[in-house]
Amino acid sequence: MIDALAASLGLAPGDPSFWMPLLFMGMLFALIVAGTVLDGFDLGVGILLQLAPSDDRGRMMALLSPWRDANEFWLLLGVGLFAAAFPFAWGVVLGQLYAPLTLMLLGVVLRSVSFEFRLRARTEAKPRWVLGFWMGSLMTAFGQGMALGRIATGYQNTAGYHGFSLFVGLCAVAAYVLLGATWLTMRVDGDLQRRAVQWARHAIRWTAAGMVAIAVTLGLANAGIFYKWSNLSHLGLAVGVWVAMLLGFVLTEMVLARLPRQAERFSWVPFVTCVGLFLLMLCGLAYSLFPYLVLDDMTLWDGAASLGSMRLVLSGAVVAVPLIVVFNILAYRSVFGKAKGSLQ
């Protein structure tokens, strides 16, 4: 497949002009996966703040403290890498996703400011910064969902497609709520854990609806993607992905229905299963869109920077990526297991 793709571009598989855009796309995909999953439970907990009793909100934010700095990496790295490695696609994509990306950026800034200011605020002012963190989390999740909806519809501008983007935005909020609630289920005990279980069970249906809507719309809106998934050589893969996702949702619901009393030792299963569902969705989306940055219009190689520029960026990545990996391994090593202490 790689040989055929290289030949269609008039390049050899070993030519840097061929494999370097692929390498950068792989790095960008890894950053998207890391940001979606690792920052996802952070977003989910933030969205759930207003549903929790006021006495639990400080505890929920304190639970996030070990990972807040690590989670701020992903968006900055992803945006920087995309702009540096694919400058010709940057303007096109930014123009099409201006509204959702602006909403997402405002949400990210509001989240970061609110989290830090809450730590330093007087007791009577803390609820206002908790509200700011909730608003920022909601804006970030909704903006990401709207961007995904726009990408899935090929940036169509009719009213129906805009309505679909709004629907996917709401489903993205539910998906992050599911991830955050299952993480809380794994991390806490008592009343907060029982509430988290109920939140997760409400969110799982909308998460499933959103993932199905994205998959169906991708196929119906683009004949090439429909053929890629439906032809006999790839039909087994498509069936396998759908079956795996169905089993993931069923397993999550079954374990949640037995928590917290009957299946406490398996409280980690819903979170791990949700991470698997996110990975399946992102891998399916990447497979559907490859090799395009702008569907049916601009490939990786059309949008890539010059070879000299990519070599310069790659030399920086060789130094920075190992440091980031080590930092995040240290930061996320305690993401599982029950939380200790009662910091507010």
Given a contact cutoff of 8 angstroms between Cβ atoms, the answer to whether 5 and 291 are in contact is yes
Q: How far is the CA of 296 from the CAs of 24, 112, 221, 237, in angstroms?
A: 20, 37, 12, 23
Q: What is the pLDDT of residue 342?
A: 47
Tell me the CA end-to-end span of the chain in Å, nearest whole number: 54
Query: What are the C-alpha distances in Å from 212 to residues 4, 90, 108, 217, 281?
Result: 31, 28, 27, 8, 10
pLDDT the model gives residue 250? 95
pLDDT: which is higher, 332 or 287: 287
| Whether pLDDT at 341 is above 70 | no
Which residue would you say has higher pLDDT here, 205 or 68? 205
Position 175 pLDDT exceeds 90: yes
Coil vs helix vs strand at 263: coil
Q: What's the whole-number mean pLDDT along residues 270-297?
A: 91
Those residues with Cβ within 8 angstroms of residue 179's Cβ, 6 or more apart along the chain or in another chain: 37, 40, 41, 43, 44, 271, 274, 275, 278
Quick check: 91 and 231 in contact, CB under 8 A?
A: no
CA dist 170 to 181, 187, 204, 208, 249, Å?
16, 26, 13, 12, 19
Could you report the per-residue pLDDT of 198-232, keeping only the tens digit for each?
999 999 999 999 999 998 888 888 888 888 888 87
CB-based burial of residue 159 (10 Å sphere; 0-12 exposed, 13-18 middle, 19+ buried)?
A: exposed
Q: What is the pLDDT of residues 102-132, one digit of tens each?
A: 999 999 999 989 998 888 888 888 899 999 9
As a whole number, the mean pLDDT across the chain is 87
Yes or no: say if 144 and 168 are a contact pair by the CB < 8 Å rule: no
- At 220 the pLDDT is 83
Q: How far apart are CA 278 and CA 334, in angstroms?
A: 21
Longest dimension (CA), the chain: 66
Q: Residue 126: CB partners within 8 Å, gap ≥ 6?
A: 58, 118
Q: Judging by beta carbons within 10 Å of its beta carbon (0-12, 13-18, 19+), is residue 204 exposed, middle or buried? A: buried
Contact 68, 116 (CB under 8 A): no
By mean pLDDT, which of 17-21, 115-119, 135-139, 324-328 is the weakest? 324-328
User: How many CA atoms lie less than 13 Å away from 327 in the CB half-sphere?
Assistant: 13
DSSP lists the bridge partners of residue 298 as 294
Tokens of 133: 């963190």
What pLDDT is stored for residue 329 in this prediction? 67
Q: Which amino acid is at 17?
A: S
CA distances, 23 to each of 29, 120, 302, 317 (Å) = 10, 42, 15, 11
When pLDDT is averaged across residues 309-333 and rounded to a whole number, the result is 77
**pTM value > 0.85:** yes
Whether residue 69 is predicted with pLDDT greater than 70 in this model: the reply is: no
Q: What share of the chain is helix, strand, coil (3-state, %, to 5)?
A: 85, 0, 15
Domains and CATH numbers, the chain: 20-333 (1.20.1630)
SS3 182: helix
**CA pair distance 156, 172, nearest whole angstrom:** 20
Element (H, E) at 299: strand 298-299
Percent of the chain with pLDDT over 70: 93
- The percent of residues in the chain predicted with pLDDT above 90, rounded, is 39
Specify the DSSP class assigned to residue 298. Answer: E
Instruction: Burial-class residue 79 by CB neighbours within 10 Å (0-12, 13-18, 19+).
Output: middle
